[in-house]
Amino acid sequence: MNLEVVRSRAARGKGDIASVGRFAESASSELERAVALVQALLELARPLSSPVDLWSAMLPMVVLQNAIAGAAAASGSEAGSEGATAAVTLERRGDSPFVVAAPSTIARLAVASALEVAVGAATPAVVHCSIEMLRGDIVGDGEEEGSGQVVAVVLRCAAPLPSIDPATLECIEDGGVMLNIVSDGMRLDFRAAGRD
């Protein structure tokens, strides 16, 4: 839409250069967002390599969920909730590679399900995800013991989180990923790859 405005104003020679510049800048921003969404969709369409680099696997999901949260907030602000902003962010804690032993389909299912629940919990959705390497073994119910390593993905949001669908949760846990409820969010524990 903005590109068409820029073209028509430039072709007519009417209007000041500053207004054409504003429309061009807006069009450029919209194009950048569209390109990021297309890249994220293409990444999700490709199969993941094994073992799974969870950081790389999460990036396109966060981009798409951020767009979904923004669209929901925008439609909510039209309904009267002025000033509503939404954001889905991802923070990398540490320099370790976040390579997990879970099958790629299970890794994607676990993260996508958790993100979907967190983003859908409130409008506007404000979800902060972090990923880090922890010492310990996955033994269930979030307890860690032993000398192994766990890749932990924590999702925090202000709204209470509904639970993940029981069939999906069973599939995730059968794939070796543990879901734990933590204060103001949830944590997914993945066994790090390369363990004995």
pLDDT digits (tens, 9 = 90+) for 175-196: 999 999 888 899 999 999 975 4
Give the pLDDT score at 5: 65
- pLDDT at position 28 over 90: no
Query: Cβ-count burial of 154 within 10 angstroms (0-12 exposed, 13-18 middle, 19+ buried)?
Result: buried
Give the pLDDT score at 196: 45
Give the pLDDT score at 100: 96
User: Model's pTM, two decimal places?
Assistant: 0.79
CA distances from 146 to 93, 129, 142, 152 (A): 21, 26, 13, 16
Poorest-pLDDT segment among 67-81, 120-134, 160-174: 67-81
Q: Identify the band that residue 21 occupies on the pLDDT scale cut at 50, 70 and 90.
A: confident
Poorest-pLDDT segment among 32-36, 84-88, 98-102: 84-88
Percent of the chain with pLDDT over 70: 78
Residue found under tokens 């966060």:
62
Stronger pLDDT, 121 or 84, i.e. the higher one: 121
Nearest alpha-carbon partner for 65 in 131, 132, 130, 114: 114
Mean pLDDT value of segment 64-86:
73
